[in-house]
Amino acid sequence: MVTSGLRKPWGLTELPDGRFVVTEREEGTLVIVTREGEISAPLIGVPAVYNGGQGGLLDVAIDPNFASNRWIYFSYSENRGNNQNGTSVARGRLSADEKSLENVTVIFRQMPAWNSTLHFGSRLVFDRNGLLYVTLGERSNPEPRQQSQDRNSLLGKVVRINPDGTVPSSNPFVGVANTKPEIWSYGHRNVQSAALHPVTGELWTVEHGPRGGDEINRPEAGKNYGWPVITYGIDYSGQPIGAGITAQQGMEQPVYYWDPVIGPSGTTFYEGDMFPWQNNLLIGSLNPGGVVRIMLNGNRVVGEERLLSELKRVRDVEVTSDGAFWVVNDENQLVRVSRGD
């Protein structure tokens, strides 16, 4: 363990010099942490967050050109008035003295806003072309969850935007009537894990199911991933979701699913020489906890291993250049995991 001095950390990303930027969900604060565990004062300039329920300051990512432009991107739940809220993404430039974010701008807002404390998503992943994927929850309640299938709503979607928040002209639904052009894929429940495959450059996501039915997906442009029409889980009440079906024409099947669940939160592909796990998927688990290692052969899952249950509810996982991996958890810890000599 490097430090236990964080305050409900949720997102973790590495800076070029090896330090980390970490979000503290409930506090709504962004801090810089050294590899020795020294935690900075909260950066000035982060907007106010809605921190009820699952809300707060969520994921963080640095611009692919951070070394020259110093942009930091972060997602958070934002008050929208009338007791409603939604997921937003903002960016700000890290100041020269590293005490504040400058020129902070909200570049994306999930619409419609909703009166819910649940299912905000949200992970931030840059692709190889510098475009930003944002994963968005469907707010959980029976009424908004139906909007996962509504392409004129941003609930239950993966969206793709330019770094300034504008819409890439190559998005699958640009120019389609009654459809939000930001949408990359739809029919999602609550995606809190996302990473770019190091070989193919494709986005992979790990999505919370209800009771059962956590899913690994490989979201492709314009495709429908089925929620809440098809699912391998049941409602928390024990009743079926919808018609209780697991497949329907025009809806994609997951790469893999769990029953019982792992509670996926934060994922990365392993790249490095410290562990013999090249291109394996490392997923933080909230329930039962620890890290889940997924072995792949191409796009097919061929094995699974449960690790580090003593870390309890793991929120995010990051692999560093030396091949070690780092996690943050609900015990307020930043932990380095390495292989002994």
Domain count, the chain: 1
Are the beta carbons of 301 and 315 closer than 8 angstroms?
no
The backbone torsions φ and ψ at residue 330, rounded to the nearest 5 degrees and listed phi first, read: -75, 0
Q: Can you tell me the mean pLDDT for 136-143?
A: 96
Residues in CB range of 97: below 8 A, 6 or more apart: none
In a domain, 60, yes or no: yes
The CATH number linked to 186 is 2.120.10.30
In a domain, 152, yes or no: yes
Q: Around 255, how many Cα atoms within 13 Å sit in the side-chain half-sphere?
A: 21
pLDDT at 240 over 50: yes
Closest C-alpha to 271, from 204, 328, 197: 197
Are the beta carbons of 186 and 160 closer than 8 angstroms?
no
Are the beta carbons of 52 and 90 closer than 8 angstroms?
no
The whole-number pLDDT of residue 185 equals 99
Query: Which pLDDT tens digit goes with each residue over 197-213?
Result: 999 999 999 999 999 99
CA dist 22 → 103, 108, 158, 160 (Å) = 20, 21, 23, 23
In a domain, 301, yes or no: yes
Round to whole Å and give the CA distance between 231 and 213: 6
The whole-number pLDDT of residue 341 equals 47
When pLDDT is cut at 50, 70 and 90, the band that residue 264 belongs to is very high
Are the beta carbons of 48 and 28 closer than 8 angstroms?
yes
Query: Which pLDDT tens digit goes with each residue over 150-195?
Result: 999 999 999 999 999 999 999 999 999 999 999 999 999 999 999 9
Cα three-residue angle 66-62-317, rounded to 5 degrees:
140
In a domain, 318, yes or no: yes
In a domain, 4, yes or no: no
Query: Which pLDDT tens digit goes with each residue over 56-89?
Result: 999 999 999 999 999 999 999 999 999 999 999 9
- Which tokens go with 225? 């991933």
Gyration radius of the chain over CA positions: 19
In a domain, 62, yes or no: yes
The mean pLDDT of the chain is: 97
Are the beta carbons of 224 and 151 closer than 8 angstroms?
no
- Which tokens go with 329? 């958890």
The whole-number pLDDT of residue 294 equals 98
Round to whole Å and give the CA distance between 203 and 194: 7
When pLDDT is cut at 50, 70 and 90, the band that residue 340 belongs to is confident
Closest C-alpha to 63, from 95, 110, 16, 17: 16
- Give me the amino acid identity at 25: R
Round to whole Å and give the CA distance between 263 and 240: 19
In a domain, 3, yes or no: no
Round to whole Å and give the CA distance between 72 and 61: 6
CA dist 29 → 32, 39, 99, 167, 210 (Å) = 10, 12, 12, 28, 29
In a domain, 1, yes or no: no
Are the beta carbons of 59 and 77 closer than 8 angstroms?
no
Domain that residue 79 falls in = 9-337
Q: Which residues are catalytic?
A: 119
The backbone torsions φ and ψ at residue 144, rounded to the nearest 5 degrees and listed phi first, read: -70, -25
Task: Number of helices (H) and strands (E) in the chain: give both, helices first.
Answer: 2, 22
Closest C-alpha to 314, from 277, 265, 260: 265
